[in-house]
Amino acid sequence: MAGKFITFEGGDGAGKSTQIRRLARRLGERGIHVVETREPGGTPIAESIRKVLLSGMVKSLGPEAEAMLFAAARADHVDRLIRPALAAGDWVLCDRFFDSTRVYQGAVGGVDARELDALERVAVGRNRPDLTFVLDVPAEVGLRRVRARLAESGGEPDRFESDEIALHEGRRQAFLDIAARQPERCVVVDAARSEDAVAGDVWRIVAMRLLQQAA
């Protein structure tokens, strides 16, 4: 039996990685083997591309060049990790996928949707998520979380975290627009609440939609 593919989307500081860890632990308790991954990344080649993209080295080349690099990383990720894991019956939980490109480089960056369609066909093919969580949080809340995390780790904001707040708000709305257009795949979860409250909603939705049982 093929596995399930769940993606987590949303703005910076929405808590995607935290909720992936919590869901993976919960699924593991049910005896389900889970693969946790992220984009860009997930494979050695894709992780190398991630470093280039998040460093800001490609920013001067524009959103179209960024979209192409994201697609290159995604193609390797799908081919070497996601597709084999699903074929083996594993559940794949991914921090960002093609919706982020649609938002960051498309809706906000201005790359034509037809170009993104073409890149998506090559990089993704038929490997579409069974379920996508859009973790929704006001931009100022998400950025406050990012600053707190960076202060704790001593890190610096990446290429996208350092953008002005108007861009972050535009991305938030673009994610909500995608979810409104594709309710059969996407579920919006209020991520401004506590981790426990968000995790509870995530598990309830997974149980109903993919496990066909009450949470």
Question: What confidence tens digit (pLDDT) does each residue in 165-201 have?
Answer: 999 999 999 999 999 999 999 999 999 999 999 999 9
User: What is the pLDDT confidence band of residue 202, given thresholds at 50, 70 and 90?
Assistant: very high
Over pLDDT 70: what percentage of the chain? 98
According to CATH, the superfamily of the domain at 5-209 is: P-loop containing nucleotide triphosphate hydrolases (3.40.50.300)
Q: Average pLDDT, whole number, for the chain?
A: 95
* Domain assignments of the chain as residue spans, ordered by start: 5-209
Residue 159 reports pLDDT greater than 90 = no
The tens digit of pLDDT for each residue in 8-67 reads 999 999 999 999 999 999 999 999 999 999 999 999 999 999 999 999 999 999 999 999
User: Residue 28's Cα: distance from chain center in Å?
Assistant: 21
Angle at 5 between CA 204 and CA 63, to 5 degrees: 110
Q: Which pLDDT score is estimated for 214?
A: 58
pLDDT classification of 2: cutoffs 50, 70, 90: confident
Q: What is the pLDDT of residue 215?
A: 59
Sheet with 5-9, side-by-side order of all strands: 34-38, 91-95, 5-9, 131-136, 186-190
For the segment 125-131, the average pLDDT, to the nearest whole number, is 95
85: Cα within 13 Å, side-chain hemisphere: 23
Q: How far is Cα 53 from Cα 72, in angstroms, rounded to an integer?
A: 12
Give me the mean pLDDT over the 126-139 stretch. 96
Three-state SS letters, 13-41: CCCHHHHHHHHHHHHHHCCCCEEEEECCC
